[in-house]
Structure 1
């Protein structure tokens, strides 16, 4: 026996069918329009069906697992996610001052990842480099560096590669501002373009993205220390070392005679950060 249907069941949801559903002759729980529920309920039913078909629902994992955390763990979760979305990079910390957020992130990495994926992000935790960060699925958080900032980044990457090849895991990679300036000059960068103001702005920009660590009140004096973090390996992997060396030569050889004499534009942070570098051949 074929069950009768009405416009509520066969037509798309429109204003007219919405009015007719109150006069539907189907028993309660039969009419499709009567049992659709709210949009959130339909979405949850859809995700549950996807789970039954073998598709893992990370969103539902978060809604199910987060309420099971203790109150202190929920507060720690909020702190960790806030740091990640603010652009910070989680690390274990020093042996004397370990970071409790790192231990929490290691234990609940899947829960953190499931939450971040709701907004199109993901949690990248590298156990080898010992760092964790939030990464957008479409690369929306990518940063564009100026020519001087890129040159400093490449030089610090080469220094990190040379220093950490034979270093122990707990060792850190440090370089003084004076040594960094000396290496840049040795590579061919005019010293007139490496004033404390220009170099300090470039290093602070890298520190803003956790690539280096510097002391508060950093002024780029020769004796000040810059710590290069393991994140630099994620930004510029080992298999690109030769490319990095070639890029340094390209950056240095691309300068013009006028640019060698004029230092004001190079030392202006606004110019470095906002204006694109021009091709000398244009």
Structure 2
């Protein structure tokens, strides 16, 4: 039986002044003592109780500062791209669980569009089973991915003070110029949660063939003799994945290709 319960929220342990102080005590006075021994713990507690009020207040303030710093770190941008991607994937899985719960308890269906204002994270769509099926059959939703992503980038620049206001930007300026992006195909139609499906494989191969035709005016990508041919080169393909037909890749390699698909292009040598 499937578990439709919402993921449990992990509560953070509260940091006290005693926690801050005892770490210093064990590092200095507690050397050689067994921290699990009741006698050693009593020595530590007695030393804490012997402190005057001013010293205790000092450590309580240090505890507040440490707690505030932890909250700030949790709510700050993750600079490491791999860690950021892991955080995103874990968060999406939690949201999926919540969707399943609300589907069962409230009879609701969901579809979510997610875009990144950073290039290395792909645009994403997910939801309840019916919501995802609706997305695949109703093409108007997929048409919103690119303007949504462009709008999010503009809002980020607005918040950073790079531009004055997105509201002053014409709607036609939000959409990227196809001559600049080189993308005239619908990447958002791919269900990236199913990298091994025949549908995903066919769409990836079709998109790469379109890119190849558009970028270098070629007909078919020479996968089998790619290592020996010298006429073309591929840009944006994952560095740790050998360039070959998508169907020949392992699952983890396919996921990397899907992550990079938007930025892949071909050039003539």
- TM-score per shorter chain, which class? under 0.3
Larger Rg: 1 or 2?
1
TM-score (norm 2): 0.25
TM-score (norm 1): 0.24
